[in-house]
Structure 1
Amino acid sequence: MLLVFPVFNIYGSSLLLLSIQGLIFSFLLLKRYHKQRNASDLLLGLILLITCYHQTTYTIGFMEWYDTYRTTKVNYYLIDFSLALAPLLFFYIKSTIKPDFRLSEIRLWHFIPAIIYFLIKVFILISDLQSTGFNEVQNGPMVINFEWKYVNPFLFLFRTIQMLLYLAFSFQIFFDFREKIKHYFANTYKLELNWLQNFLAAYSFLYLFYSIQTVVNELIVDLSWIQEWLFYLSSGIAIIYVGIKGYFTKVTELSSIDFASFAVPANKEHTLIKRISEDKLSARQADISSYFAEHKPFLDPELTLISLSEKLDMSREELSDVINQGFESRFNDFINSYRIQETKRLIAEGKHKNLSLLGLAFEAGFNSKATFNRAFKKSENQSPSEYLNQLSK
């Protein structure tokens, strides 16, 4: 049977379509970077581009490239860029949460392994080009006796450790940033933070999937191309998710947060070490409770520690200490507790008959459904809808 490239089937066509969509979003991100110069757009565009590029071997394989062109040399030019992907993931997260992040902060040493691997691939190509009978085979002696035997096993081991470390660093700076927000802001930027968490989860899943698949293939049983296709299908689906969410989620909101304005001046640092006296603590608690009862500052969805301290004519350090020590709460949880009580008050007044639960949440100062549901369940041990159903019984 004469094979002709391209052959369209469910395996190759699905990978091709997913990769094309990913390339479109990569182009859109790079185009937006050219106009707006947001480093996060450039980094995410490159991440998508590399992920799509890594689909090439299996995409053209299922489309019968290797059977049609038996002596093809295409694999010499399909270089694994995953050694560059790991640091790019880390710098993307950093670019979204660090104010005034600049591309100049990206250090070349993070990409030295990728550069060394690229040079090795060039060396293998040049060596095999000079070998006898190279035009009659698909893979030359350097690929078979050097790359497959020594380079690839070392590459897998190094890449696995590298990706694990960079993902760990990425999760660490992400969780630290998320915790900071909860201490200073009532608005927890749920949409943006959920995107970053899901982005890291998607690439963690692909990393784990690929690692397990490789170990099984090398040590337990040889997997067929169709069995390995599941990983590349998962990668393609991840490409679409990352492309769509990454393009439409405005992460510049996060990178504009300047925590330096919350920093404690050096000459006041000692006040944070020493706890507020019990008498002063009680007095400040009473002042805050009175102010909240009268002015309801929690109704402002953009309320921050700084803006509240200005309203109370209190230093932000002292306000933070009173909330943490006196009310035994973080700023975000403290404000949301008032918003939940306000929501319950509105329900008690029958406002739920004219407004949805989400409408009541917005009236009470919440700015997202997810934050409202999470805070309500944490406080009341039941969802808002369960609370409402219980009242109607």
Structure 2
Amino acid sequence: MDNISLLIVVNIISLFISLFLAFFLITLKTKYKISNSLFAFFLILNAIDISEPLFSMVTDGPSNLGMFRTTFAFLQIPVFYLYVISVCYSDFKIKPKYLLHLLPFLIVNLVLLPRFYTVDAASKMSFIQNRQNMIEFQFIHILIHLQIVLYIIAVFRILRKTKKLYLENYAGKNISSYNWLFQFTVVLSILYAVALLKNIFKFSDYQQVSEFIKIGLFVSSLFIFCWYLFKALNNPDLFRNIDSKLKLVSELVSEEKSSKESIEDEREYNEELLKLKKYMVEKRPYLNSSLTIQDVSSDIEIPVRDLSLLINHQLGQHFYDFVNAYRIESAKDILKDTSKSKVTVLEILYEVGFNSKSSFNTAFKKHTGNTPTSYRKNLQDSVL
């Protein structure tokens, strides 16, 4: 099978799977309709982008529709950016201001209007054949690569902020789930970098290399999209707890310093700290696997803002780590109890408030330097 035939076969398979996944997401009954629809739109844009081999087979030379199809690439990364925001924040809504993300797409089509969209077929052909010397193409290439870099940076900034907000305000979900979207973004960035390499070869004397890279992109992108969707659909609460109105502790501290109100004195700080520790020991709220800082604030009647500053700033711990420290101590007590030697590690982790083995092992090793299993074994060996 020659390269062209292989490219067409891979292209057909890629288009079918991309559109099938998009249809599945759009029709899926879920309360997360907006984020699913945005990712479906992203998949559709990807399908439009990779349809070039098939489109070339059914068209005779350059056309307005064909050029318009290529400009949809300027919508891919903005849609992915909005998707990331939608899964990071529970209160996400589509707003008119998001229409600003259409600007690069509109600008590119306006740039192409005078010397491509409004000219005859012969002029279109000449425009394509001399594309390396056309200022419009140079502008488009610079803009698409600049857009990708800026949006990828923006996505990583959002992920970094929301993960920190989670650590400062929540102690429930498995923190490792945050890595999936981060990993997907990293891989997506690599795909865009490879696509850039493909374009470099496309406009060189090594166009055959460009075709091989294109086939690799089609195949790898499908595996990556399927992997991510499998993860996301099996963990629908990914990032769902973050409220966009929450502020980082660093921002709260900055506001405190600039405020005319004095920071709480040492006596008040000590009283609130004692109240918090007494509550954690006596009420054992950490046994609730979905505990939030808002829950603790309500129970001990300390404002969320003050409690967040107390734990995350004054104690120098994220709320997530603060709560897990109590969970680990409770787990250690069970592991030390010889009468509970038959209780499995899995049973223990659920009993003390964790909801996954990986998060329990990570937290336990962080606090003790050992895994739960080795910790129990060491205790048994010391007794013998």
Give the TM-score category using the shorter length.
Answer: 0.7 to 0.9
Partner of 2:105: 114
Query: Amino acid of the residue matched to residue 224 of structure 2?
Result: A
Q: Closer, same or farther in 2 for the Cα pair 1:90/1:262, shift >3 Å?
A: closer
CA distances 1:264-314 after superposition (whole Å, capped 9, x unpaired): 99xx96899744433443343333333322221111112111211232233
Residues 1:26 and 2:22 are matched in the alignment: yes
Q: Closer, same or farther in 2 for the Cα pair 1:287/1:203, shift >3 Å?
A: same
Partner of 2:302: 314
Partner of 2:138: 153
Query: Amino acid of the residue matched to residue 107 of structure 2?
Result: I
Residues 1:52 and 2:37 are matched in the alignment: no
Following TM superposition, by how much is the alpha carbon of 1:100 offset from its aligned partner in structure 2, in angstroms? Answer: 3.3
Q: Closer, same or farther in 2 for the Cα pair 1:262/1:43, shift >3 Å?
A: same
Alignment of 1:227-266 (within 5 A): 227-250=213-236, 254=240, 257=243, 259=245
TM-score, normalising length: structure 2: 0.80
Give the % identical residues: 20
For residue 103 of structure 1, give the secondary structure of its aligned residue in structure 2. coil
- 2 CA distance for matches of 1:19 and 1:258? 35
- 1 CA distance for matches of 2:51 and 2:340? 54
Corresponding residue pairs, total: 372
Contact 1:272 1:321 in 2 (8 A): no
CA distances 1:72-101 after superposition (whole Å, capped 9, x unpaired): 558556424221112112211222233433
Please list every run of 5 or more consecutive structure 1 residues that lacks an aligned counterpart in the other structure: 133-138
Following TM superposition, by how much is the alpha carbon of 1:183 offset from its aligned partner in structure 2, in angstroms? Answer: 1.1
Contact 1:79 1:118 in 2 (8 A): no
For residue 301 of structure 2, give the secondary structure of its aligned residue in structure 1. coil
For residue 302 of structure 1, give the secondary structure of its aligned residue in structure 2. coil
- 1 CA distance for matches of 2:262 and 2:174? 32
CA distances 1:238-270 after superposition (whole Å, capped 9, x unpaired): 2323443445542586267464699999xx968
Alignment of 1:284-363 (within 5 A): 284-324=272-312, 326-350=314-338, 353-363=341-351
Report which stretch shifted further, 94-103 or 296-305. 94-103
- 1 CA distance for matches of 2:132 and 2:200? 18
Report which stretch shifted further, 97-106 or 256-265. 256-265
Contact 2:91 2:244 in 1 (8 A): no
Partner of 1:205: 190
Contact 1:15 1:55 in 2 (8 A): yes
Q: 1:374 aligns with which of 338, 356, 362?
A: 362
TM-score, normalising length: structure 1: 0.79
Following TM superposition, by how much is the alpha carbon of 1:152 offset from its aligned partner in structure 2, in angstroms? Answer: 3.3
Contact 2:127 2:134 in 1 (8 A): no
- 1 CA distance for matches of 2:104 and 2:173? 37
- 2 CA distance for matches of 1:285 and 1:305? 14
Q: 1:226 aligns with which of 208, 212, 218?
A: 212
Q: Closer, same or farther in 2 for the Cα pair 1:237/1:12, shift >3 Å?
A: farther
Partner of 2:95: 104
Contact 2:164 2:248 in 1 (8 A): no
- 1 CA distance for matches of 2:366 and 2:43? 37
Partner of 2:119: 127
Contact 1:96 1:255 in 2 (8 A): no
- 2 CA distance for matches of 1:146 and 1:13? 28
- 2 CA distance for matches of 1:224 and 1:189? 41
Q: CA RMSD in A?
A: 3.8
Report which stretch shifted further, 215-224 or 113-122. 215-224
For residue 70 of structure 2, give the secondary structure of its aligned residue in structure 1. coil
- 2 CA distance for matches of 1:212 and 1:329? 44
Q: 2:77 aligns with which of 72, 86, 98?
A: 86
For residue 95 of structure 2, give the secondary structure of its aligned residue in structure 1. helix
For residue 127 of structure 1, give the secondary structure of its aligned residue in structure 2. coil
Following TM superposition, by how much is the alpha carbon of 1:205 offset from its aligned partner in structure 2, in angstroms? Answer: 1.9
CA distances 1:205-244 after superposition (whole Å, capped 9, x unpaired): 2122222443455579552522442223222222323443
For residue 254 of structure 1, give the secondary structure of its aligned residue in structure 2. coil
- 2 CA distance for matches of 1:173 and 1:229? 32
- 2 CA distance for matches of 1:155 and 1:215? 14
Please list every run of 5 or more consecutive structure 2 residues that lacks an aligned counterpart in the other structure: none
For residue 186 of structure 1, give the secondary structure of its aligned residue in structure 2. coil
Query: Amino acid of the residue matched to residue 291 of structure 1?
Result: Y
- 2 CA distance for matches of 1:140 and 1:187? 59
Residues 1:38 and 2:33 are matched in the alignment: yes
